[in-house]
Structure 1
Amino acid sequence: MDKDNNLVKKSMIKVFKKNIGMVILLAFAVLGAVITSLIPPHILRYIIDNMLAQNSHSSNNNKLLALAFAYMGALLFIGVFEFLKEVILTILGQKITKEIRYDMMGKLENINTLFFSSNGSGAIVSRFTNDVDAINSLFTDGIIGMMVDCFKIIGIVISIWMFSSSLGIITLLLLPIIYGITRFFQGRMLKAQIQNRVLVGRVNNHISESLKNIQMIKSYSKEEYMEKNYTNYLLDNYKTIEKVNFYDSIYSPIVQITKAIIIGFIVVLSSKELNYLGISPGMVAASIELISNLFSPIDNLGMELQNIQRAISGIYRVNDFYNEPEDGIKDNSLIVGDIMKSDKDVMLAFNNVFFKYEEDDYVLKNINLDIKKNEKVAFIGRTGVGKTTLFKLVMGLIKPSSGSITINGVDVYDVPNSKKRKIFGYVDQGISIINGTVAEQISLKDNSIKREDIENAVDFVGLKEYVESLENGLDTIVVHDSLFSQGQKQLLAIARAIVLNPPILLLDEITSNLDSITEERIVSVLKKASYSHTILSISHRLSSMVVSDRVVILENGSIKNVGSPEELLEMDDWYKSHIELEKLTWG
């Protein structure tokens, strides 16, 4: 991937180079829109001064008709150029958006896993959606639009100055007044609209939470409380909508009144009595039309400035994302079969492993442990001692701050992610259901996994009969979670983990949310798997796990004790009390 740290600039340059013809056409459309917008007032001036003010003749009538068609033709060309400009801007904007999101997805695939520890999914999705859309508006409704509107304003001022320098000075004085009025109302409307979006989100969130927790609400008779909160949210939202509607309704009349006052002022100054400006009736009419046209680009400038400010914020956020650290370069030449071919007794080795998240204290400290082939090792300890972090290190998802973890002498962090599934099978407390068939829930749409392997995995975990009872068996589309019970989902997760027969299984609290009968079924499947796999497990209920050869007790991020369950009962008071408490609790 290109390491240019300005993703937005890189994407824009790439799109412009690929679509150079369209960029030239855009420049032509912009120039045409600016020039043609200035032509109708000049035609109007000529008609009034040279045609209507003189006596009518047949030749003049023909010329008047031709000028009328020219006037309408100019308006038509204005529409054509504006349409062409908007179409090209939309196409180029979408191409830039696609290019940015494509590069961002490439970045996401290589980004360091630690990024996800400090950034929630909602914040990441916002980078891909809201921030990129804001950048798109920079191009479609920001810089180009501002350039066009500035050129139009300059063209209008020059055209009026050509009629009368005094009127030109008046026009220049009007610019800040018109802009000030526009920005005053736009700022307040924007503030009210933002507040309205926040309150709409609060209302929607309240509805969602109410539906999600409806049983609890009814059980604790909290209907009146929830209804009261909902009413307050609706009332607040209604007030902001009133503000938006008020500013929206009053803005247009104020602009029209301001325009009428300016036009009246020009007409008075141009009257025969005063004749202050010294311009003809045609010039007065043309000036009135030009000044009327002045309001639209000034109005647009305010919105374009807001779009540019919003887009700049989006650019910073997208570029910050693009500059996040990536995983190191993996050795794609590593062959899984070669890694696993070893006569060594030690399969997995923790070598002086230390780990901390950024500037925090060390989560894991001086972890040294050798795990043999087909050994069953359970990691226990109080919540927060680093057990799950240890599993992430074992799978090479994150890199130790110092030290290393090796599998048959190969650093697990150097194994490409695409090959890890053949080495590690990971099962946690739940399973993420994807859009697809039952078979695809297991294969995760990996075409290299054979149908036979999927069938064997389903049979191994004891789901064969149930899957065969479904309408299309393994080809049944999983529309919603209710197709499987909680226990069946956990068995499905085990099938997903073992479908490629990886030598190492990692089990993270997989029976914590299950009833005792379902738990026994899961444990029996895991015992069957234990004969041919190295198993690392985390569990608070030791009796519910596969019988372990060794138990590792973690305390304050370090290994406090290691030994067989029998040895630890004799030499570790914490382990002994843990077992006794479990017996009293679960019987």
Structure 2
Amino acid sequence: MSPSLVKKSILNVLKKSPQIDILLIFTICGVVIVSLIPPQILKHIIDYNLVPKNSDKLLISALAYLGVLFLVGVFGSIRDAGLTIVGQKITKEIRSGMMEKLEKVNSLFFSSNESGIVVSRFTNDVDTINSMFTNGIVGLIIDCFKIVGIVISIGMFSTKLGLITFLLLPLIYAITRTFQKRMLKAQIRNRILVGKVNNHISESLNNIQMIKSFNKEDYMEKNYTTVLLDNYKTVEKVNFYDSVYSPIILLIRALVIATIVILSSKQLNYLGISLGMVAASIELISDLFRPIENLGMELQNIQQSLSGIQRVDEFYREPEDDGKNKELKAQTIIPRREEVELSFNNVTFHYEKGTEVLENINLRINSQEKVTFVGRTGVGKSTLFNLTMGLIKPSTGSITLNGIDVYAIPNLEKRKLFGYVSQNFHLFKGTVAEQISLQDESITREQVEKALNFVGLTEYVASLENGLDTPVSHDNLFSQGQKQLLSIARAIVANPPILLLDEITANLDSITEEKIVSVLQKASEAHTILSISHRLSSMIACDTVVILEKGRIKNTGSPEDLLQKDDWYRSHIALEKLTWS
């Protein structure tokens, strides 16, 4: 099991900031000790100055009382500032560790976790861990020390009163423990639901055009309302426990103070203490229950933090892309473009055990061969591409490139080997040139210009305000066809020997599709190409067609051979010609 990221981050911050650690320990001790002094001064004022009506040193005692209260405030302020600094440093350390983990996590993680849930772990869950230091565990420790100090101080006035106060502590502990268990369960559930709420918002924003186009606003709103209502009910449960806890503590405090007054009255005089001791005891009792009241909020923050820690550490324990050989270099794997041999060796893959997506795939692709994968939706074509690029690992079997397992190739080297073009071109904040280079410093300006010229976008980009340096701030700068051409430019700019084309002519009009296919035909002259085609009639010229059915290879051969021997292939070609004629 991987070590706790949160524990590692806390230890790293504490090791790097010894001065702040010492300051925090000093101020925590100062707050606890100094807060116990005012009741003692109050007792002295009443017993030695007010009851005997002796004004000597009354002013000094009063100033001392105010001065100690001032010191309590100073220590408290320094403590809060120190906790805030430490909390922010720990938050930064945790998020940095999570980002490092995100870069290493296995791609299968993203198949079962929506983006909103992952974002929630980086934001909400880490923020709750921060609150553990600013409003949680440190405050809880201080309050516990205060409670012990107060019980001892009261015991010094009266052993009987100290015993009564001590016997109250198990009752308070039982109450807080009960609420702690219930609140933890509710907080963990709340964190999960917050992730679902965030994910729904993210999905709605990403698909807003489709939602509006198909008049699905009401449907999305109903789903959002359902998730939000579940979240509200969970928060309501947490708030209920919190709101019930404080009144119970207040009622116990009132009963204890009333008991002290009655037992100290002239009629009973059971405790045998002076008037100053009674006043000091009442103040100490109030001080005793004040931290106990705070325990409710502190416990809530700690429960939120524990649920956040649990979810962050769950993420940190996710399987990583293991088996990467950092010594492998692209030029050593494929020293010459004419020497490419991609082999699928009895490859089987499943996302869930027992449900095979691909099964017993055996195939060999040679240098500059053009292979097209066809088949019904859901037969595993795109999964096969992810396996080919080493993004995911076969459940059994292997895929090798010139004898090297593709999964072992470092991600840094893969762009030099594989150029991937998908159906959608994802823009990000940056210039036109950076959309192609992806801010890879090893890719020169000349390579970007060459890639643009290859796909025929040089003139259009030159017409933009700043040419290649034009910032891309919205999707409307390029048409759908131009985005697909940019996607091809992005794939070929590093001049990889292998291109993977995933249904890139889907959703394009016939004229744009023809232009894309023309560019790809030109690219095919110097590359080994693997493509997925949703329309057989629009395939680029290929040497081999691989028909997939139910995760297996049903048939392979040249387009001409398959027209003769495969009924499914022949019927689909005929149907498409009839549809488009």
Superposed pair shares fold, TM > 0.5:
yes
Moved more, 314-323 or 101-110: 314-323
* 3-state secondary structure, aligned to 1:370: strand
Query: What is the distance in 2 between the residues matched to 1:572 and 1:191?
Result: 59
Structure 1 residue 200 displacement after superposition:
13
Task: Tell me the equivalent position of 2:472.
Answer: 478
* 3-state secondary structure, aligned to 1:326: coil
Structure 1 residue 365 displacement after superposition:
2.4
Task: Tell me the equivalent position of 2:353.
Answer: 359
Task: Evaluate the alpha carbon distance shift between residue 371 and residue 482 of structure 1 in structure 2; reply closer, same or farther with a 3 A threshold.
Answer: same
Task: Tell me the equivalent position of 2:289.
Answer: 295
Structure 1 residue 42 displacement after superposition:
0.6
Structure 1 residue 471 displacement after superposition:
1.7
Task: Tell me the equivalent position of 2:566.
Answer: 572
Task: Tell me the equivalent position of 2:8.
Answer: 10
Task: Tell me the equivalent position of 1:97.
Answer: 91
Query: What is the distance in 2 between the residues matched to 1:435 and 1:194?
Result: 36
* 3-state secondary structure, aligned to 1:458: helix
Task: Evaluate the alpha carbon distance shift between residue 344 and residue 410 of structure 1 in structure 2; reply closer, same or farther with a 3 A threshold.
Answer: farther
Deviations along 1:28-55, one digit per CA (max 9) or x if unpaired, are 1111111111110110110110111223
- 1:463 matched to 2:461? The reply is no
- TM-score, normalised to structure 2's length? 0.88
Deviations along 1:453-499, one digit per CA (max 9) or x if unpaired, are 11121222222222222221211111122222222221111111111
Task: Tell me the equivalent position of 1:330.
Answer: 324
Task: Tell me the equivalent position of 1:54.
Answer: 52
Query: What is the distance in 2 between the residues matched to 1:417 and 1:97?
Result: 28
Cα contact 1:385–1:554 (8 A) shared by 2: yes
Task: Evaluate the alpha carbon distance shift between residue 233 and residue 183 of structure 1 in structure 2; reply closer, same or farther with a 3 A threshold.
Answer: same
- 1:32 matched to 2:26? The reply is no
Structure 1 residue 445 displacement after superposition:
0.9
Cα contact 1:203–1:233 (8 A) shared by 2: no
Structure 1 residue 401 displacement after superposition:
2.8
Task: Tell me the equivalent position of 2:69.
Answer: 75
Task: Tell me the equivalent position of 1:19.
Answer: 17
Within 5 Å, give how 1:20-419 maps onto structure 2.
20-57=18-55, 60=56, 63-175=57-169, 259-342=253-336, 347-357=341-351, 359-419=353-413
Structure 1 residue 124 displacement after superposition:
2.5
Moved more, 7-16 or 339-348: 339-348
Cα contact 2:417–2:496 (8 A) shared by 1: yes
Structure 1 residue 20 displacement after superposition:
2.4
Task: Evaluate the alpha carbon distance shift between residue 263 and residue 127 of structure 1 in structure 2; reply closer, same or farther with a 3 A threshold.
Answer: same
Letter in 2 for 1:167: L
Query: What is the distance in 1 between the residues matched to 2:541 and 2:198?
Result: 51
Letter in 1 for 2:22: I
Cα contact 2:189–2:234 (8 A) shared by 1: no
Task: Tell me the equivalent position of 1:535.
Answer: 529
Residue identity over aligned pairs, in percent, reads 63
Moved more, 332-341 or 208-217: 208-217
Deviations along 1:513-547, one digit per CA (max 9) or x if unpaired, are 22222222222221221111111100111222311
Structure 1 residue 199 displacement after superposition:
10
Task: Evaluate the alpha carbon distance shift between residue 560 and residue 217 of structure 1 in structure 2; reply closer, same or farther with a 3 A threshold.
Answer: closer
State the aligned residue count: 580
Cα contact 2:349–2:357 (8 A) shared by 1: yes
* 3-state secondary structure, aligned to 2:151: helix
Moved more, 465-474 or 419-428: 465-474
* 3-state secondary structure, aligned to 1:113: coil
Deviations along 1:172-205, one digit per CA (max 9) or x if unpaired, are 3545666788899997999799989979997996
Task: Evaluate the alpha carbon distance shift between residue 185 and residue 572 of structure 1 in structure 2; reply closer, same or farther with a 3 A threshold.
Answer: closer
Letter in 2 for 1:558: R
Query: What is the distance in 2 between the residues matched to 1:196 and 1:341?
Result: 51
Query: What is the distance in 1 between the residues matched to 2:333 and 2:257?
Result: 85
Task: Evaluate the alpha carbon distance shift between residue 570 and residue 216 of structure 1 in structure 2; reply closer, same or farther with a 3 A threshold.
Answer: same
- Structure 2: tracts of 5 or more residues without a match: none
* 3-state secondary structure, aligned to 2:494: coil
Task: Evaluate the alpha carbon distance shift between residue 51 and residue 495 of structure 1 in structure 2; reply closer, same or farther with a 3 A threshold.
Answer: same
Task: Evaluate the alpha carbon distance shift between residue 348 and residue 18 of structure 1 in structure 2; reply closer, same or farther with a 3 A threshold.
Answer: same
Cα contact 1:422–1:500 (8 A) shared by 2: yes
Moved more, 254-263 or 388-397: 254-263
Cα contact 2:117–2:195 (8 A) shared by 1: no
Cα contact 1:374–1:531 (8 A) shared by 2: yes
Structure 1 residue 396 displacement after superposition:
1.4
- TM-score, normalised to structure 1's length? 0.87
Query: What is the distance in 2 between the residues matched to 1:203 and 1:354?
Result: 35
* 3-state secondary structure, aligned to 1:167: helix
Cα contact 2:34–2:72 (8 A) shared by 1: yes
Cα contact 1:36–1:77 (8 A) shared by 2: yes
- Structure 1: tracts of 5 or more residues without a match: none
Letter in 2 for 1:125: V
Query: What is the distance in 2 between the residues matched to 1:277 and 1:290?
Result: 16
Moved more, 120-129 or 386-395: 120-129
- 1:512 matched to 2:476? The reply is no
Deviations along 1:310-342, one digit per CA (max 9) or x if unpaired, are 333333333333333322343333332232224
- 1:426 matched to 2:420? The reply is yes
Deviations along 1:2-29, one digit per CA (max 9) or x if unpaired, are x962333222222222222322222111
Task: Tell me the equivalent position of 1:562.
Answer: 556
Task: Tell me the equivalent position of 1:448.
Answer: 442
- Alignment RMSD: 3.8
Cα contact 2:45–2:61 (8 A) shared by 1: yes
Cα contact 2:324–2:409 (8 A) shared by 1: yes
Structure 1 residue 379 displacement after superposition:
0.3
Letter in 2 for 1:310: Q
Structure 1 residue 451 displacement after superposition:
0.9
Cα contact 2:264–2:278 (8 A) shared by 1: yes
Moved more, 331-340 or 145-154: 331-340
Task: Evaluate the alpha carbon distance shift between residue 218 and residue 329 of structure 1 in structure 2; reply closer, same or farther with a 3 A threshold.
Answer: closer
Structure 1 residue 301 displacement after superposition:
1.8
Task: Evaluate the alpha carbon distance shift between residue 160 and residue 192 of structure 1 in structure 2; reply closer, same or farther with a 3 A threshold.
Answer: same
Deviations along 1:384-427, one digit per CA (max 9) or x if unpaired, are 22111111111111222333222233322222110111111101
Query: What is the distance in 2 between the residues matched to 1:464 and 1:541?
Result: 29
Cα contact 2:116–2:195 (8 A) shared by 1: no
Query: What is the distance in 2 between the residues matched to 1:226 and 1:125?
Result: 20
* 3-state secondary structure, aligned to 1:507: strand
* 3-state secondary structure, aligned to 1:400: coil
Cα contact 1:203–1:234 (8 A) shared by 2: no
* 3-state secondary structure, aligned to 1:357: strand
Query: What is the distance in 1 between the residues matched to 2:178 and 2:68?
Result: 34
Cα contact 2:10–2:90 (8 A) shared by 1: yes
Moved more, 14-23 or 155-164: 14-23
Cα contact 1:179–1:299 (8 A) shared by 2: no
Task: Evaluate the alpha carbon distance shift between residue 352 and residue 309 of structure 1 in structure 2; reply closer, same or farther with a 3 A threshold.
Answer: same
Cα contact 2:433–2:469 (8 A) shared by 1: yes
Query: What is the distance in 1 between the residues matched to 2:405 and 2:229?
Result: 60
Moved more, 114-123 or 415-424: 114-123
- 1:494 matched to 2:488? The reply is yes
